[in-house]
Structure 1
Amino acid sequence: MRRRFSEGSPIASTVVTGDDFDELEHTFQAFLAPDTVKLHTPAPTGSFDISQLSGLRIPGIDPNGLSVYELTLDSDVILQGEETPDAYTVVVTLNGHSQAKIDGEIVPSRHVVTGPDTRFQTRYDHPDILLLRMGRQLVADTMRERLGEAPTSPLRFDPLITSGMDQWITLLQTFSDTAVSGLFDRSPLAASHFEKLLLHGLLDTQPHSLSGELAEDRPRSRSAAVRRAMTYCEEHAAEPVSIGELAMATRISVRALQLAFRTELGLTPLEYLRRIRLDHVHQDLLAIARGRAEGTVTDVALRWGFTHLGRFSGLYRSTYGKLPSETARLTA
């Protein structure tokens, strides 16, 4: 599964490659709880290759981010260890064989999910693997956005990935292929949208401890007018939009539009538009933190129509739990 990366790509690159399995063990220790990691090779021959296809280049895990890695092992390997307290990992075995034991129990699947502090032991036989790493804070923030409030307990995934996840696994493969092609280097916005699709798809299809809360929160069917208004807000978020223009675009009166939004979404049309713009701000700040864009918090705020920086900062903090400047630095 060795890839040829797009020439000059700042995202996709080789992390470690060779035949020194002590070096491979040290690499896993940098990403997992280091005191727990042990790598055993029954026949210490062959080679390995780990490549990062997307994500911020920092040791370990970015608690606010998402990264994808590709691992090729031309050997038999037994890996055991413990996930860090601030990460989730999805392991998809594309070729070869694997057998995992999670928290002492055998998981009868080639694909598994581990969560914070999860203990694991996996035997690999010449595999090609995709690894999706997600920060615990990213998952918690996404759940808060979906539920409208902080989750009542930490999210724990069912470690067993079944055939019902085949479409999501295909999506992960498509993401890795696109990252290797270099397209995400040219379109950070596309990368951001794709990462959201992966994360939300995983939360919606892989069983976890908060699946019931997500199912209860699924919205009812919205009226055509509200759907048109939401689409207009998303397409014109970077432009000045008045409530009158929005009503004209949706072909109903201002009062009817306001009533529909209150009834179906629990907020005004302009509040919804502000949420859309704030999400764009958040994504732009993350792009700056990850080195995909340049600018300041003020630049980004003004770009999306937030001219009163004090109110903007307070709104951002109440929505994301941190100041905009903290997001731009990817601090916890």
Structure 2
Amino acid sequence: MRKRFSEGSPIASTVVTGDDFGELEHTFQAFLAPDTVKLHTPAPTGSFDISQLSGLRIPGIDPGGLSVYELTLDSDLVLQGEETPEAYTVVVTLNGRSQITIDGEVVPARHVVTGPETRFQSRYDHPDILLLRLGKQLVADTMRERLGEAPTSTLRFDPAVVETSGMHQWLTLLHTFGETAASGLFDKSPLAASHFEKLLLHGLLDTQPHSMSGDLAEERPRPKSTVVRRAMTYCEEHAAEPVSIGELAMAARISVRALQLAFRAELGLTPMEYLRRVRLDHVHQDLLAIARGRAEGTVTDVALRWGFTHLGRFSGLYRDTYGKLPSETARITA
């Protein structure tokens, strides 16, 4: 399943291709799995292709990032080693036979998930594989957003991907993500890429069982009342604009007092606190885009764009929410 990349795409491109399997092993070590995973081809004949479809184009793992690769081999392949301490990998076998052992146990599944410091051995016969790499910090930050507090332990996914109807839909989503990235659309629309990545990550956390699935199951449900949903939608659509409580009440078609009571009962927040959370999430996504080279600007630029004019209070709020300063997320100084 070779990709046709858009001309001039800075991200989606071929990492290495050809029939020199010594070069393949060297590239794999330097780019995809430095110092931890060994790649071996028992019969080094045929051809190969490693392509990066999305993510920051640097060797190694970006702890705050997400990237997708495709590995196609007209040969046999053995991968053996230990996942880095900073990453998860979802390995999706599109074509070819596979046999996978994780932490000494054979995993009876075509698709698997490895976590930080997981030991594994994978044998493939003429494979076509998608690799979704997730930074450990990205997963931890996402769980913090979902639960409202930082996880107290490292999240561990079940290694076997069982293809339920929900997981089948997620796999289709991953495939679509790779094709869209390869088309170059995400180069032209970093915001679309950011939203798609978030959908992909949240979908994985909701679909693939893991050590914190029970915590997610206890999340506060989204409100059922129409008035609160209307106000939430208005917040999300007008987050970059000045918004008053009166405007939210008009959008919800009820009085200000009734809207405040409804938000408190269903979300445990005031309407303006919810709006602030929406804006802060936009700030977080914009700072991640800067860190990944998809956007330019400073922390100050981003904060002002989303209505945070008091930078000291903004930094404190951001740190309380995400466990780090905004400049640490963007890897720049305000």
Shorter chain as normaliser: what TM range?
Answer: over 0.9
Aligned partner letter, 2:20: D
Aligned to 1:323: 325
Q: Secondary structure at the match of 1:17?
A: strand
Aligned to 2:195: 193
Map 1:31-180 onto structure 2 (within 5 A): 31-32=32-33, 34=35, 36-164=36-164, 165-180=167-182
Shift in Å at residue 139 of structure 1?
0.5
Counterpart selection for 2:266 from 259, 264, 267: 264
Aligned partner letter, 1:32: A
Decide whether the 8 Å contact of 2:298 with 2:332 is kept in 1. Answer: no
Map 1:243-322 onto structure 2 (within 5 A): 243-322=245-324
Cα deviations by residue, 1:13-52 (Å, 9 ceiling, x for unpaired): 1112222323322333333361x43333221112211111
Q: Secondary structure at the match of 1:163?
A: coil
Q: Secondary structure at the match of 2:258?
A: helix
Decide whether the 8 Å contact of 1:71 with 1:129 is kept in 2. Answer: yes
Aligned partner letter, 1:173: H
Cα deviations by residue, 1:129-178 (Å, 9 ceiling, x for unpaired): 11000000110111111111122321111110112121111110000111
Decide whether the 8 Å contact of 2:98 with 2:125 is kept in 1. Answer: yes
Shift in Å at residue 220 of structure 1?
5.5
Which stretches in structure 2 are left out of the alignment for 5+ residues? none
Aligned partner letter, 1:214: L
Shift in Å at residue 53 of structure 1?
0.7
Cα deviations by residue, 1:287-313 (Å, 9 ceiling, x for unpaired): 122221111111111111111111111
Aligned partner letter, 2:78: I
Shift in Å at residue 259 of structure 1?
1.1
> Does residue 26 of structure 1 match 2:16?
no
Counterpart selection for 1:231 from 227, 230, 233: 233
Which range moves more in the overlay, 260-269 or 227-236?
A: 260-269
Which range moves more in the overlay, 292-301 or 118-127?
A: 292-301
Aligned to 1:2: 2
TM-score (norm 2): 0.95
Cα deviations by residue, 1:61-107 (Å, 9 ceiling, x for unpaired): 11111001111111111110110001000000101111111111111
Shift in Å at residue 59 of structure 1?
1.4
Identity between Structure 1 and Structure 2 (%): 86
Shift in Å at residue 189 of structure 1?
1.0
Q: Secondary structure at the match of 2:51?
A: strand
Map 1:198-213 onto structure 2 (within 5 A): 198-213=200-215
Cα distance in 2 between the residues matched to 1:2 and 1:141: 33
Decide whether the 8 Å contact of 1:188 with 1:287 is kept in 2. Answer: yes
Decide whether the 8 Å contact of 1:33 with 1:81 is kept in 2. Answer: no
Decide whether the 8 Å contact of 1:55 with 1:68 is kept in 2. Answer: yes
Aligned partner letter, 1:111: H
TM-score (norm 1): 0.96
Q: Secondary structure at the match of 1:109?
A: coil
Decide whether the 8 Å contact of 1:107 with 1:159 is kept in 2. Answer: yes
Task: Give the superposed CA RMSD.
Answer: 1.5
Decide whether the 8 Å contact of 2:16 with 2:51 is kept in 1. Answer: yes
Q: Secondary structure at the match of 2:294?
A: coil
Pairs aligned (count)? 330
Which stretches in structure 1 are left out of the alignment for 5+ residues? none
